[in-house]
């Protein structure tokens, strides 16, 4: 059992080391943060969606924007498209599960907004549909995926691909990058002096 612990930790570390060494990924993450900050400063918002663990990530990330990451500051406009059970079940029941996010983008999205789709495989059909809907409305798109990026990679304006084909290792890296993404957006909006403010430990 202890060997299993060590083996899984080693795999997690190896994936994170690959992410750490990927300068192109870093540059894309920075550009995604700049794009999102520009949208927020223009009165627009970030919309985020995913399935399963990626749905939890979407909600986690949005909470960091709306509440805070580590430092108190004004709330930042972000919405998780994974939380309204009435919308999700109505769209899935009346049409198809593939439309649960695209329908919300049609209703809530505005030109200049940003949509971030999260999928470990890059092939989630409802995220692919959401990317298509966002493109039609003039909404900038970011894909956060794994493996080879799947069907989402060529659809998104910016694509961040974790170099792994193991779901849990991809998700672990996603979470780290999501926190850094929020931090970068904060720095873009509030300036370098934001780093000097005292950090708060959340409950």
pLDDT in tens, 16-47: 999 999 999 999 999 999 999 999 999 999 99
The pLDDT of residue 197 is above 90:
no
Q: Confidence band (pLDDT; 50, 70, 90) for 196? A: confident
Instruction: With beta carbons less than 8 A apart as the criterion, state whether 72 and 141 touch.
Output: no
Handedness of CA 89, 43, 25, 129 (dihedral sign): positive
CA torsion 193-44-170-1 (nearest 10°) is 70
pLDDT-derived band at 192, boundaries 50, 70, 90:
confident
Residue with tokens 């943060």: 33
For residue 202, is pLDDT > 70?
A: no
pTM of the model: 0.95
Contact 68, 200 (CB under 8 A): yes
> With 70 as the cut, is the pLDDT of residue 203 above it?
no
Alpha carbons 115 and 33: distance in angstroms, whole number: 12
Q: What is the pLDDT of residue 193?
A: 76
* Percent of the chain predicted with pLDDT > 90: 91
Count of C-beta atoms within a 10 Å radius of residue 19: 23
How crowded is the C-beta side of 53, counted as CA atoms within 13 Å? 14
Token pair, residue 19, equals 């992410």
Whole-angstrom distance, CA of residue 158 vs CA of residue 151: 13
Q: Above 70 in pLDDT, residue 201?
A: no
Query: Average pLDDT over the chain, rounded to whole?
Result: 95
CA torsion sign for 108, 83, 87, 94 is positive
Kind plus residue range of the DSSP H or E element containing 140: strand 140-146
Alpha-helical runs (H) found in the chain: 2-21, 23-41, 53-66, 85-94, 102-108, 125-136, 167-190
Per residue in 40-92, pLDDT (tens digit) is 999 999 999 999 999 999 999 999 999 999 889 999 999 999 999 999 999 99
């Amino acid at each position: 059992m202890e060997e299993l612990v060590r083996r899984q930790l080693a795999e997690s570390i190896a994936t994170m080391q690959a992410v750490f060494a990927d300068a192109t990924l870093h540059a894309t993450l920075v550009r995604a943060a700049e794009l999102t900050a520009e949208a927020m400063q223009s009165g627009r918002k970030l919309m985020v969606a995913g399935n399963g663990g990626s749905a939890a990530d979407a909600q986690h990330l949005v909470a960091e924007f709306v509440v805070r990451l580590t430092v108190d500051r004004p709330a930042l406009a972000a919405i998780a498209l994974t939380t309204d059970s009435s919308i999700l079940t109505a769209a899935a029941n009346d049409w198809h599960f593939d439309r649960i996010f695209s329908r919300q983008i049609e209703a809530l999205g505005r030109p200049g907004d940003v949509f971030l789709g999260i999928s470990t495989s890059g092939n989630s059909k409802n995220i692919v549909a959401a990317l298509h809907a966002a493109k039609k409305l003039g909404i900038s798109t970011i894909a956060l995926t794994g493996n080879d990026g799947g069907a989402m990679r060529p659809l998104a304006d910016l694509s961040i691909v974790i170099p792994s084909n193991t779901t849990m290792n991809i998700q672990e890296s996603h979470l780290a990058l999501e926190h850094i993404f929020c931090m970068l957006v904060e720095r873009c909006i509030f300036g370098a002096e934001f780093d000097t403010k005292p950090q708060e430990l959340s409950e």
